[in-house]
Amino acid sequence: MRLRNLKNKEEIMKNSKVLIENPEDFCGNWANVFGNSFPIHVEIGTGKGKFIESMAKCNPEINFIGIERYDSVIARALEKVDTIPNLRFIRMDAFLIDTIFNHEISRIYLNFSDPWPKVRHHKRRLTSEVFLQKYDGIFVGDGEILQKTDNQDLFLFSLCSLSQHGYHFSEISLDLTKEAVKNLATTEYEMRFVEQGYPIYFLHAHKSKR
């Protein structure tokens, strides 16, 4: 994916009321950021924010946090997103996710993540053992992961990796365009892939707290 530079990205990020600049300062205290004890859902790789903005507006009883590593991408999300009480954004590398949350996240969304196709890069996949171990430390109670992808190899990898890490599946779809998942918004990529006729793979995985 080619990233187009946004010239005024620094100004947009500086003036945003929903961007958290020092997320590590709130590790273990995200309930205070939102001012309530509602469940917290995280989208890793939030892109331009269409999915998480829709989810936040439709689910005011849930707090949402979008994580994106690229300045220009998250700035585009911030310039379009209204000030929504139950929505925040963080600009950071997902590899550091266990440094900003401590047993306080209920659900993770992985929407059209980088598939990292080369075998030597598989550990960078967001459903690799490396990341699943990190998620163990941020989930509160039973953890949930919902994944959408157009990449079959990544999807099969995720099914195996999640199973080996103790997850079970409540939903699996080999073509989400032919099925309906309740209360789940679409993404920019999803709309594009559907228009091009590509199948969308989906899974909803759960891991019970022991």
**What predicted TM-score, i.e. pTM, was given to this entire model?**
0.92
The single-letter code of the amino acid at 110 is L
Element (H, E) at 175: none
How many whole angstroms separate alpha carbon 12 and alpha carbon 72?
10
Instruction: Tokens 């039973």: give the residue.
Output: 142
Sign for the CA dihedral angle at 90, 118, 161, 169 comes to: positive
Give the pLDDT confidence score for residue 3 in this predicted structure: 54
> What are the C-alpha distances in Å from 68 to residues 23, 166, 174?
13, 27, 27
Give the pLDDT confidence score for residue 181 in this predicted structure: 65
Instruction: Tokens 């789940």: give the residue.
Output: 184
Alpha carbon 115 to chain centroid distance? 14
Query: Does residue 50 contact residue 186 with C-beta atoms inside 8 Å?
Result: yes
Catalytic residue among 98, 114, 142, 175: 114
Query: Does residue 155 contact residue 191 with C-beta atoms inside 8 Å?
Result: no
Give the pLDDT confidence score for residue 4 in this predicted structure: 64
How many whole angstroms separate alpha carbon 45 and alpha carbon 143?
18
Query: Which of 174, 123, 181 is closest to 149 using CA atoms?
Result: 174
Q: What is the DSSP letter of 19?
A: B
Give the pLDDT confidence score for residue 82 in this predicted structure: 73
- Show pLDDT as tens, one digit a residue, over the chain (210 residues): 445 677 788 888 888 999 999 999 999 999 999 999 999 999 999 998 999 999 999 999 999 999 999 998 999 889 878 789 999 999 999 999 999 999 999 999 999 999 999 999 999 999 999 999 999 999 998 899 999 999 999 999 999 999 999 999 999 999 987 776 666 888 877 878 778 878 999 999 999 876
Angle at 68 between CA 113 and CA 125, to 5 degrees: 30
136 catalytic per annotation: no
Query: Which of 85, 81, 29 is closest to 60 using CA atoms?
Result: 85
